[in-house]
Each structure stands twice: as C-alpha cells, then as structure tokens.
C-alpha cells in the first residue's frame, strides 16, 4: 500500500545517509530467504493489482530455507528492483526468480524480470552511474542504491533489456 511505499522510501533515504557516512556495516545473520522474498512481494501486491500486473515468485527447490547474510541490504535490493519493475510496466508480469547453478553450490542467483517498456541498449550503462544532477530520475536513484548495496556485498547488477519487451535485473550472492 502507499503507507508501506512511503516507509520504504524513508528507510531508503535513511540508509543512503548511513552509507554516505560509512556507518552501516555488513551484518551476517541467519534469516528465512523465502519469507523475506514473500514479504517484499506482498508489499507490492496492491500497486501491481491496480496496474493488472501479476507478481510471481519462482524459487528453485534446492535454495536453502535459511541463509546467513545481510537481510537488510538484500531486502532493500529486492524492494528497489520490484518497485522499478512495477513502475515501468503497464501490464503483464513481474517475475522474481532464484536459482542455483550445479557447479556453484554456495551462490544463489536472483533476477527480477518485467514485461515493461524496456530500456534502449545505449542507456543501460548510465542507469547505475552516480549523478549529482537534481534531474536524476527515481529509477536511476533506485538503481544507484542497488548498485552500491551489491558492491558492498561483493556482487554487481547485470541488466538485460529489449526496448518494448521488458527488462531483467540480476545479481548473485554467496551464502
């Protein structure tokens, strides 16, 4: 709902201030990965339904139920990516997907795919670049936050998009 969206924005601003002041350290503690993802998705059910967007969570069966990592950073990453996907999708779906590769047992791969308007190839690189401009779009600010958080977790954001068909934002984390 809109109250939850406002709380997410306030938390994001507070978190960005802490990042800039280098006062936020990485906390590795056990948490339920599925529960975190379900809560993130559920907080966007209403905005998705009002736009006739189906929110889908797809978790490969061998993903561990409990992982040890920075739950707060992962929540912020997932929230930003889902929020961007819904904002830039007029209809269709937003798919949050988790999987493991048989050769990298400790690594979990995450992706958020939308059937939105997509991004021109020549604009993708600029989406995650910091900007001092006051005209920076919210999408860029959100992706800057995601990029910063992933860098702290020793990962990076990969973007694949086709204009008019949608975008996929993905990353991997070691647990």
Joined tokens for residue 107: 């690594």
Task: Give, for all 175 residues of the chain, the pLDDT tens digit.
Answer: 567 667 767 766 766 666 665 556 788 899 999 999 999 999 999 999 999 999 999 999 999 999 999 998 999 899 999 999 999 999 999 999 999 988 887 899 999 999 999 988 888 877 776 554 433 344 445 788 899 889 989 999 999 999 999 999 999 999 9
Task: List all residues 6 or more positions away from 64 whose beta carbon is below 8 Å from its beta carbon.
Answer: 33, 175
Check residue 85 and give its pLDDT. Answer: 95
Q: Are 55 and 94 in contact (CB under 8 A)?
A: yes
Please check whether residue 167 is in contact with residue 161, taking contact to mean a CB–CB distance below 8 angstroms. yes
pLDDT in tens, 56-99: 999 999 999 999 999 989 998 999 999 999 999 999 999 999 99
pTM of the model: 0.82
3-state secondary structure of 68: strand
Residues with Cβ < 8 Å from 49, sequence gap 6 or more?
none
pLDDT tens across 86-98, in order? 999 999 999 999 9
Tokens of 28: 């590795």
> CA gyration radius for the chain?
16
Contacts for 148 with CB less than 8 Å, ≥ 6 apart: 19
- What pLDDT, on the 0 to 100 scale, is given for residue 121? 85
Token pair listed for 31: 């948490």
């Amino acid at each position: 709902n809109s109250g939850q969206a406002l709380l997410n924005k306030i938390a994001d601003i507070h978190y960005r201030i802490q990042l800039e002041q280098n006062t936020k350290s990485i906390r590795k503690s056990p948490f339920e990965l599925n529960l975190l993802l379900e809560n993130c998705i559920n907080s966007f059910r209403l905005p998705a339904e009002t736009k006739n967007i189906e929110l889908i969570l797809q978790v490969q069966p061998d993903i561990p139920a409990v992982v040890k990592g920075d739950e707060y950073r992962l929540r912020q990453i997932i929230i930003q990516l889902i929020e961007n996907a819904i904002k830039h999708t007029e209809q269709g779906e937003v798919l949050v997907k988790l999987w493991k590769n048989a050769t990298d047992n400790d690594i979990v791969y995450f992706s958020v795919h939308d059937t939105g308007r997509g991004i021109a190839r020549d604009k993708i690189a600029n989406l995650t670049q910091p900007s001092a401009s006051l005209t920076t779009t919210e999408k860029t600010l959100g992706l800057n936050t995601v990029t910063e958080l992933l860098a702290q977790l020793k990962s990076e954001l990969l973007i694949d998009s086709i204009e008019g068909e949608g975008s996929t934002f993905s990353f991997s984390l070691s647990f």
